[in-house]
Every structure is written in C-alpha cells, then in structure tokens.
Amino acid sequence: MVNEVTVKVETPTPEQHQALRVKARMPRRSDRGTVKGLQNTLFGICLYLDDEIVGMGRVVGDGGMVFHLVDIVVDPECQGLGLGKLIMEHLMDWILQEADETAIISLIADIPADGLYRQFGFDYSRPESVGMEYQWNQRES
C-alpha cells in the first residue's frame, strides 16, 4: 500500500488538517488558529491514497535557529504501514538541508510514537530539560 501512496510537498488545507486530526483522535484546533498556523508552515508533507489525505506532517519555527516538527498524523486505518516513517523521512531530509548543527530541532512525542522518532535521532531531553506547555484550563479567571 505504501507504493500506492502519493507524497506531495504541501501544507494541508484547514479542512484536511482538522478532519485528519479528528479522525486520529487528536484534539481539534480552532478554525481561526488552524488557518493562521498553517499559513506559517515552513515545510509540509501530505500523503494521499486515492485523492484522500491519509497522512501529514509539518515543520514550523523561525527557519534558522529553531525547527519544530508538528502535526505528524496518519489516518488510523493506514497506521502500521510505514507512513509515519515516510513522513519523517521527508521532514528530516528538508530540515537537515536547511538547518545547521547549532539549530534546535524538536518535537513533542505522543507515546508510543516516540519509538519512531528515536529512529531519526531524537532522544529524550531529560534530565537537562523537559517539554512544557501552557495549560489553558489551569488559568485563573
């Protein structure tokens, strides 16, 4: 099936992005945030099967010092076929052409996808540093 997949260097549309995230049981993003965020993609990959998007991945950042891999998603019906690896190969090929050895290349890994990312040279940053995110639901009113 991987041979039947079409790889396109492009950013998904907001509709494709939202639909694929929801299908993969990932949190839906706001429509406004999705449109704005996708416009700021440095590099994107979309995988298609019969003209339907089945995978995506993006690189965001400043294009020089910081590169962050996001939205690495494969349709649950197509998982286990090497599509996540295919997305990562394209993202990393681009990053390694654009970045130098002083750049920060990062991602936040959902478990068990961390095993895939380790194949591409990613490792846990602990104990020196940890990933953190602002918790909107913890804000005081």
Predicted local distance difference test score (pLDDT) of residue 97: 97
Predicted local distance difference test score (pLDDT) of residue 137: 79
Cis amide linkage into residue 12, ω under 30° from 0? no
* Spatial distance between the Cα atoms of 66 and 73, rounded to a whole number of angstroms: 21
Q: How far is CA 54 from the centre of its chain?
A: 13
> Two tokens at 132?
């953190």
Predicted local distance difference test score (pLDDT) of residue 140: 61
Predicted local distance difference test score (pLDDT) of residue 2: 67
Order of all β-strands in the sheet with 43-49: 6-9, 43-49, 52-61, 66-74, 104-107
Q: Could you tell me the domains of the chain?
A: 6-119 (3.40.630.30)
Predicted local distance difference test score (pLDDT) of residue 34: 97
Which pairing describes strands 6-9 and 66-74: parallel, antiparallel, or unpaired?
unpaired
Helices (H) and strands (E) in the chain, counts: 4, 5
List the chain pLDDT tens, one digit each, 141 residues.
Answer: 666 999 999 999 999 999 999 999 999 999 999 999 999 999 999 999 999 999 999 999 999 999 999 999 999 999 999 999 999 999 999 999 999 999 999 999 888 889 999 999 999 988 888 888 888 877 665
Length reported for the chain: 141
Amino acid sitting at position 3: N
Q: Within 10 Å of residue 52's Cβ, how many Cβ atoms? A: 12
Predicted local distance difference test score (pLDDT) of residue 91: 98
